[in-house]
Structure 1
């Protein structure tokens, strides 16, 4: 997901938008003590922790709000708002004790009831949170989400102002990591209900529990520059390194690179081959870093039978042979070489370097599937599929982000290569803003859509549960019985507590997705970037909160 539903455009550029006192490189003496100047490549969509699904909104939610735990720089889930998180011997009950004296940014006490309210709000079907499924292992959650029980029956109980208990339906080895996800963050009920549907639509209509708050006018919902400052009521304020962090939306990566060279950038992504090849040797007050994002770029096919104005497309994409032909006709190695810098062709849904098996192997290697490029076989499946649906030609729309250079280049490549490989196929490009692509995906308003997902925690289920029947992120309407059975085994007793058995189940799930051509993984993303060496403490996580700003500062 990342908590983020990691449907991001690419690793964000960290950009200085202030004119420094002296000319020269990014690490000149004028840097000392100034506010880090950062940027994202697209607009914030919401600050509502229950409703956010994209990487960029969650960067701000994860740095202005907080949960019971927070993922530390070493990748471990450590107590945050919680003083302690105690697990019962059977793994079914968690007792969470909050720190004493916690406060919201407006001075209100932050107590256990704020967690109860937030979690009940998240699973309420009227709220329609796409991240509600992350709470599915809490007792009663599935019945509530399916409209069969009241939200008050959720397995979370306030014991006192500082203690609450959580009852699970089955052991969940990664539950402490889930507590660090935004959908698990507490919410102040009176504040949320004051603004209703407008909650989270601007910084003034949001309440904060984390290291930072927005300064002055903050984020209005449309502006593209804003500042974060320390939250005076944050329990660990003394350990927040920067008193201010300035942000701006910078949509063109080429512009970011030039600003970096002018000494006005702290980090500039080199996400395309042209940018990388032209700037990888730049050493003036710069260092080259490779950001391994635990993110997979994949293609979804609309298998719902609806959501498109093209009846032939709706029928075609439900056909396994058509999907298999499309998968076989995609040249992943060339896509990576021509449109990315540092990424690798995908061998499955779960990206390389994110999770390990019980015996220490990279799970992506262990579970790799033979996603290959074979035009001859593709034509065979294509011909058979067209015959089965009674068509001789087919027009399919391909939707992707207008905000991403890589996405647009990939669309052009696929349009040309697929039409050449598959006789009778016409690909119509639909290039839309990032937020529109997200909306169309969730509403199943597409034929084929290019998607990205980054892990929320370092365990394969953060990817492999995306396409279960009850997932809010199964945009293509995947229906795969073998995959469902494998995921059910992996997430229920006895396998859920047996690491080796769970690994095997996850591998079976990857194989089932491959066998049915349910999705089409394209590449595992790594983004090289130029970084100001005087910017220190910026924690980058491949899973969960991509950028943790608590420790960043300019030395």
Structure 2
């Protein structure tokens, strides 16, 4: 009897061990771990719009369409659409999809979510993307009512949107996270929130109600918020699966070490690192802006700091001839004409290693070649945005990522000094006329001449992953589609 009981107990223990082992193996096989070096402040995609937050929003939400890795539009919750003859009215037919609590996603959810963005008190950085919709801009600026905004749910699966005028990029704009259908506590993307501990980690698990869940192979994504040096060590120990930009900026001194063992994924995207000048002060003087621009050694930034490839694969960046724009000799003959500010010029930048190194190089070059002193000031992204919004700065190192793939996306934000994204305070009647006539070549030449902002380099994503990860896809506007990733057995 005792022997029988002993045998049964042994079998139970062995079975429990095997079961635990299978569970552990399944978790390892169907989960990925990564690190981001920026705290996520909200899970509402209508509020934030930075590159890192957008990676999380893409996992939790789905709008009508998305932009795939080749830059093509792909339907998500959208089944089909009709466009009126005057090309101003869209009638969208939705697929039958669900939120993560099993409730039906309807056209009314889209209507409510988009109109919420247009409430004057709603804090959105990207509200201007809706301004081509009839009545939208007026509602946001309190010059009209929400009821006058032409976003209407006809029935559960039909959404009608009327534009102020034809907008050939409207469908591409709909891929932005701000157009996601947001309801408290639920999601409609490939993943849902399992846990979130501020300044520690975020855990996402597969959404069983996602319309395409059968093609999502990774069951869990764990995201840590930690110093990049710590994440690098975990990656080298194979405890983190994916590191690098856009999720986190790797210590530049470590890149050669990683390159010895891992192959990097690199992709140029439709975005750039820029310098923004505050035109309400010293940099109202074009000669001063020119002086700073011509004394920036962009080749050195690309070769020694960002350590990415030179050159540009987008026509706009090619037209600016940025890498050939280092001409300090053009400034020497005009040094006597430059203002000599008594106080140092303050250069603001987001607190990241790459930004700090770029800022240091700019400071050294400017102080060597120009009669100025430069003070560097790093800060958190939220603080930086607030200073830009108030125009409480001299020069600021900023990022720009295109929402759609036409240079109009960038040019439009400088259309007038009151534009939501124009942090410079610069405007030009001739520039406005060139935009109105869609003469973008002329608009670009005006920017090259006036330099209200200065381009430093085109963005290149550079990431490293463990060898057993496959199918890592990146869209031209910088979204990494982790839901498409597969993981081989070790």
Shared fold by TM > 0.5?
Answer: yes
Structure number with greater CO (CA < 8 Å, separation at least 6) is 1
Aligned equivalent of 1:266, options 220, 241, 261: 241
Any conservation in 2 of the 1:50–1:131 contact (CA below 8 Å)? yes
Equivalence for 2:74: 78
Q: Secondary structure at the match of 1:466?
A: helix
Q: How many residue pairs get matched? A: 461
Please show how residues 419-430 of structure 1 align to structure 2 within 5 Å: 419-423=367-371, 425-430=372-377
**2:409 is the counterpart of 1:462:** yes
Shift in alpha-carbon separation, 1:392–1:478, aligned structure 2, 3 A: closer
**What's the offset of the Cα at 1:343?**
4.5
**Aligned equivalents of 1:393 and 1:380: distance in 2?**
21
Equivalence for 2:480: 547
Please show how residues 330-345 of structure 1 align to structure 2 within 5 Å: 330-344=296-310
**Aligned equivalents of 2:84 and 2:329: distance in 1?**
56
Equivalence for 1:46: 42
- Structure 1: which 5+ residue stretches go unaligned? 1-20, 22-28, 192-205, 306-313, 346-351, 355-361, 491-504
Shift in alpha-carbon separation, 1:259–1:435, aligned structure 2, 3 A: same
Any conservation in 2 of the 1:120–1:152 contact (CA below 8 Å)? no
Per-residue CA distance 1:499-540 (angstroms, 9 max, x = gap): xxxxxx222222111211211111112243332231123221
Looking at CA atoms only, which structure, 1 or 2, has the larger radius of gyration?
Answer: 2
**What's the offset of the Cα at 1:489?**
2.5
Shift in alpha-carbon separation, 1:428–1:442, aligned structure 2, 3 A: same
Any conservation in 2 of the 1:291–1:529 contact (CA below 8 Å)? no
**What's the offset of the Cα at 1:98?**
1.0
Equivalence for 2:8: none
**Aligned equivalents of 1:111 and 1:448: distance in 2?**
45
Aligned equivalent of 2:331, options 367, 378, 385: 378
Any conservation in 2 of the 1:47–1:58 contact (CA below 8 Å)? no
Q: Secondary structure at the match of 1:228?
A: strand
- Structure 2: which 5+ residue stretches go unaligned? 1-19
**2:160 is the counterpart of 1:165:** yes
**Aligned equivalents of 1:251 and 1:444: distance in 2?**
31
- Please tell me the root mean square deviation across aligned C-alpha atoms, in Å: 2.6
Equivalence for 1:446: 393
Equivalence for 2:350: 401
Equivalence for 1:139: 134
Shift in alpha-carbon separation, 1:246–1:47, aligned structure 2, 3 A: same
- Normalising by structure 2, report the TM-score: 0.87
Per-residue CA distance 1:66-96 (angstroms, 9 max, x = gap): 1111223332212111211232343222110
**2:450 is the counterpart of 1:474:** no
**What's the offset of the Cα at 1:231?**
1.6
Per-residue CA distance 1:298-347 (angstroms, 9 max, x = gap): 101111x2xxxxxxxx2x111111111111121111222221111437xx
Aligned equivalent of 1:234, options 207, 210, 213: 210
**What's the offset of the Cα at 1:443?**
3.1
Any conservation in 1 of the 2:44–2:182 contact (CA below 8 Å)? no
- Normalising by structure 1, report the TM-score: 0.77
Equivalence for 1:483: 431
